[in-house]
Amino acid sequence: MPEAETAMSTVDWARIAHDLVEIWNNGRFDLVDEIIAPDYVRHDPAFSGPVYGPEGFTRYIQAIVHSFPDGNTTVEDLLISQDGKEIAMRYTWRASHTVDFMGIPPTGKRVEMQGISILRAENGKVVECWDGYDSLSLLRQLGVAL
């Protein structure tokens, strides 16, 4: 069997994407250990440093969900790399800002933001994530940026 087929068969990206949506939209934190590796690293340009491990992943999401409790993520596209070890996941996130978020008092405003996350997996679990999303648009929608 060619190497690319072997790599792709070890990562069930459809399941991982489904579980990520379940975690974000429905608080299914019981799924975190099933899809996030112990040595996981998340690179998010809006945060001061990387997020590490399943515990860091959980705290990261809980912090956002706390301020936007009705948040809903929709996966628009999944693009799988040739070797099957990475995906680019394009998504849309919609939510209402009801609790203080990074020093921004609740506005009650409904927001929508698009983003792309590039995920890398080893042994069937996500080990690294690079986030890119339109945080300026989010800040504009919240009324704190021009």
Task: Enumerate domains of the chain plus CATH numbers.
Answer: 3-141 (3.10.450.50)
Average pLDDT over residues 119-140: 95
Q: What is the pLDDT of residues 61-108, one digit of tens each?
A: 999 999 999 999 999 999 999 999 999 999 999 999 999 998 999 999
Q: What is the pLDDT of residue 6?
A: 43
With a cut of 90, say whether residue 49 has pLDDT above it: no
Residue pair 72/93 in contact (Cβ under 8 Å)? The answer is yes
Burial track 71-87 (b if 16+ CB lie within 10 A, e otherwise): bebeeeeeeebeebbbb
